[in-house]
């Protein structure tokens, strides 16, 4: 087999990169569990008809077929696949909704769950956009109803989780919040009825600028130039405190665009901003320009930027669905957010923002004096491991200098020499060497331990 080349869109990390990713995942899991979210995993596949319910995602789905299934005519096949076929999930929301319906009788609602898994999308790979990637989701789902306070809580859970990553050297984040009711209430108050068209136009602000968006709103959303200008004024509102609510109210009064829906939305947005200013100051920002996803969601909507890396796009998005799932008898509303772990980790690694202090878990390499005495080295390793110290034994009884280089190449900080009274270069009693400083001292495998910071590889800010 010739040397294989990487597959575009399917990221893999070298061992030290995987240590970074694993640390990120551990911190997220730990934070989600501190907030009382239960972890679940769902299968990688869902029935195609469920995956294709949202038309626009159909392009992205990977369809599965067993190799021994004989291909018949394309038409017969297409039919069978549409009816009974399976595809890889492209997010964790569709599978979660199905899991809730399937297991509703065994779950206690409101049900808080986190889920960290790979998802697959057949999109064209780009920087930060993959065909296989890891998502980390938290959602709360209710049976029949779900109080608004969860729309305040969930982004704060993510603020906590992303904040905990700062200890690893991850840059700060800003979670941008909008509310579908505010946007829709304002547009309707202005007299605009094609709300989706307005949202689609506003969504283009970053790409084409406000003049072009105004033209789009006139051409495609049936707005007058004055209405278009008012929509753009709303989109320009942002801030970290409840002053945002006052500014929107002012705007609505000026354009005579107040509606009950707008007031309801402002009440919600105001509560969120107030709680955020208290519990995660500077992290949550109301930003009335956020339009993406507003057509799926029914209340709050969230996007998150990594400060200094805004070009990466959102690394944590989500919102409120009034109907996450429904089995006819019961409707399950939900609110949740999803972190794009692969997008985040790939930037951390490619921009050299963080690094692992070594590429292996091993803290100690036990040297081998001769193959006949390998068992003595194995015994030292077992003693160290029994006290939680990651240890491996040298691959061969080569010269000690070579064994030290073996450790050095992997970043293993300590080499252990097993004591031996014969004349072969080994010390008379056990000694351990810090190969970074060269300091070597007598040690007992039953009691010696490395400093805490050397015990396991750590992830630290690079540079």
Q: Which of these segments, 9-17, 187-195, 228-236, 432-440, binds a second copy (CB under 8 A)?
A: 9-17
Nearer to a second copy, 58 or 429 (CB): 58
Decide: is 260 part of the binding site for a second copy (CB under 8 A).
no
Q: Which is nearer to a second copy, 87 or 128 (CB)?
A: 87
Task: Check whether 139 is labelled as a binding-site residue.
Answer: yes
108 binds a second copy (CB under 8 A): yes
Known binding residue 91? Answer is yes
H-run or E-run covering 348: helix 341-350
Given the complex with a second copy, which of 213 and 404 has the nearer CB atom?
404
Listed ranges 35-43, 174-182, 227-235, 343-351: which one lies at the site for a second copy (CB under 8 A) = 35-43
Using the minimum distance from each CB to a second copy, give the nearer residue, 244 or 360: 360
Q: Which of residues 290-319 bind a second copy (CB under 8 A)?
A: none
- Give the residue, chosen from 56, 256, 278, 372, that forms a contact with a second copy under the rule CB under 8 A: 278
218, 456, 460, 462: residue in contact with a second copy (rule CB under 8 A): 456
Smallest separation, CB 327 to a second copy (Å): 5
* Shortest distance, position 59 Cβ to a second copy, whole Å: 5
Q: Residue 303 and residue 273: Cα distance in Å, rounded?
A: 15
Residue 369, Cβ neighbours under 10 Å: how many?
22
Cis peptide before 110 (omega within 30 of 0): yes
Q: State how far Cα 438 lies from the chain centre.
A: 41
453 forms part of the interface with a second copy (CB under 8 A): no
Binding mask 132-171 for a second copy (x = CB under 8 A): x---------x----x-x---x------x-----------
Tokens of 244: 């945002």
Q: Looking at beta carbons only, is 85 or 185 nearer to a second copy?
A: 85
Interface map 216-235 toward a second copy (x if CB under 8 A): --------------------
Q: Is 296 annotated as a binding residue?
A: yes
* Stretch binding a second copy (CB under 8 A), from 215-223, 233-241, 343-351, 406-414: 406-414
- Based on the number of CB atoms within 10 Å of its own CB, is 144 exposed (0-12), middle (13-18) or buried (19 or more)? exposed
Q: Is 205 in the site for a second copy (CB under 8 A)?
A: no
Do 179 and 297 touch, CB atoms closer than 8 A? no
Residue closer to a second copy, measured from CB, 254 or 387: 387
Give every CB contact of residue 91 below 8 A, 6+ residues apart in sequence.
Answer: 119, 135, 338
Residues 6+ apart with CB under 8 A from 406: 365, 394, 395
The count of chain residues that interact with a second copy, using the rule CB under 8 A, is: 102
Do 321 and 276 touch, CB atoms closer than 8 A? Answer: no
Rounded CA separation 365/46 (Å): 46
258-285 burial, b at 16+ Cβ within 10 Å, e below that, comes to bbebbbbbbebbbbbbebbeeebeebbb
Residues 6+ apart with CB under 8 A from 265: 179, 180, 181, 182, 183, 184, 185, 299
For residue 400, what are the CA distances in angstroms to 177, 233, 367? 60, 72, 7
Interface with a second copy includes 385 (CB under 8 A)?
A: yes
- Minimal distance, residue 182 CB to a second copy, in Å: 22
Q: How far is the CB of 68 from a second copy (least distance, A)?
A: 5
One of 54, 80, 103, 296 touching a second copy (CB under 8 A): 103
Give the number of other CB atoms < 10 A from CB of residue 179: 29
- Quick one: 75 or 439, whose CB is closer to a second copy? 75
Q: How far apart are alpha carbons 296 and 93 in whole angstroms?
A: 12
State yes or no: residue 107 binds a second copy (CB under 8 A).
yes
Min CB(112)–a second copy separation in Å: 7
Q: Which of 203, 168, 163, 167 is nearest to 183 (CA)?
A: 203
Which CB, 456 or 462, lies closer to a second copy? Answer: 456
Select the residue interacting with a second copy from 89, 113, 247, 433 (CB under 8 A): 113
Q: Is residue 59 a contact residue for a second copy (CB under 8 A)?
A: yes
Out of 24, 91, 93, 120, which residue is the one contacting a second copy (CB under 8 A)? Answer: 120
Regarding 102 and contact with a second copy (CB under 8 A), the answer is yes
Report the distance separating Cα 74 and Cα 78, nearest Å: 6
Residue 85: helix, strand or coil by DSSP? coil
User: How many other C-beta atoms are found inside a 10 Å radius of the C-beta of residue 223?
Assistant: 25
Residue from 88, 190, 235, 261 in contact with a second copy (CB under 8 A) = 88
Report whether 410 contacts 398 (CB < 8 A).
no
Which residue's entry shows tokens 């021994």?
68
Residue 92 binding a second copy, by CB under 8 A: no
Q: Which stretch binds a second copy (CB under 8 A): 172-180, 181-189, 231-239, 382-390?
A: 382-390
User: In 104-204, which residue ranges form alpha helices assigned H by DSSP?
Assistant: 149-164, 180-190, 195-202
Binding residues for L-histidine: 91-93, 121, 135, 139, 292, 296-297
* Residue ranges at the known binding site: 91-93, 121, 135, 139, 292, 296-297
């Amino acid at each position: 087999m010739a040397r294989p080349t990487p597959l575009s869109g399917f990221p893999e990390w070298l061992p030290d990169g995987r240590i970074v990713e694993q640390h990120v995942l551990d911190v997220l899991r730990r934070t989600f569990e501190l907030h009382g979210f239960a972890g679940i995993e769902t299968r990688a596949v869902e029935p195609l008809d469920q995956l294709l319910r949202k038309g626009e995602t159909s392009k992205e789905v990977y369809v599965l077929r067993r190799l021994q299934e004989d291909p018949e005519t394309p038409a017969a096949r297409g039919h069978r696949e549409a009816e009974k076929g399976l595809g890889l999930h492209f997010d964790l929301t569709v599978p979660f909704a199905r899991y809730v319906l399937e297991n509703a009788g065994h779950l206690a609602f409101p049900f808080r769950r986190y889920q960290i898994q790979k998802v697959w999308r057949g999109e064209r790979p780009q920087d930060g956009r993959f065909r296989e990637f890891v998502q980390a989701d938290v959602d709360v789902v209710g049976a029949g109803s779900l109080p608004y306070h969860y729309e305040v809580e969930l982004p704060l859970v993510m603020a906590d989780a992303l904040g905990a990553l700062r200890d690893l050297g991850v840059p700060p984040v800003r979670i941008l919040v909008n509310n579908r009711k505010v946007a829709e209430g304002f547009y309707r108050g202005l007299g605009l009825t094609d709300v989706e068209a307005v949202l689609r136009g506003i969504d283009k602000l970053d790409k084409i600028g406000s003049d072009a968006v105004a033209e789009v709103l006139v051409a495609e959303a049936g707005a007058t130039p004055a209405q278009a200008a008012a929509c753009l004024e709303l989109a320009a509102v942002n801030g970290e405190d409840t002053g945002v609510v006052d500014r929107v109210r002012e705007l609505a009064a000026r354009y005579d665009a107040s509606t009950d829906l707008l007031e309801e939305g402002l009440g919600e947005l105001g509560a969120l901003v107030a709680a955020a200013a208290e519990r995660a100051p500077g992290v949550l920002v109301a930003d009335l320009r956020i339009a993406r996803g507003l057509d799926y969601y029914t209340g709050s909507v969230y996007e998150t930027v990594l400060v200094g890396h805004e070009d990466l796009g959102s690394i944590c998005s989500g919102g409120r669905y009034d109907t996450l799932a429904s089995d006819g008898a019961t409707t399950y509303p939900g609110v949740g957010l999803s972190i794009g772990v692969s997008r985040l980790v790939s930037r951390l690694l490619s921009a050299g923002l963080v690094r692992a202090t070594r590429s292996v878990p091993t803290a100690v390499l036990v040297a081998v004096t001769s193959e006949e005495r390998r068992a003595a080295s194995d015994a030292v390793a077992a003693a160290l491991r029994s006290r939680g110290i990651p240890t491996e034994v040298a691959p061969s009884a080569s010269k000690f200098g070579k064994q030290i280089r073996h450790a050095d190449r992997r970043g293993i900080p300590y080499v252990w020499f097993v004591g031996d009274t014969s004349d072969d270069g080994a010390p008379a009693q056990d000694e351990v060497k810090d190969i970074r400083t060269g300091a070597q001292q007598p040690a007992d495998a039953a009691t010696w331990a490395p400093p805490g910071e050397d015990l396991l590889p750590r992830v630290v800010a690079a540079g």
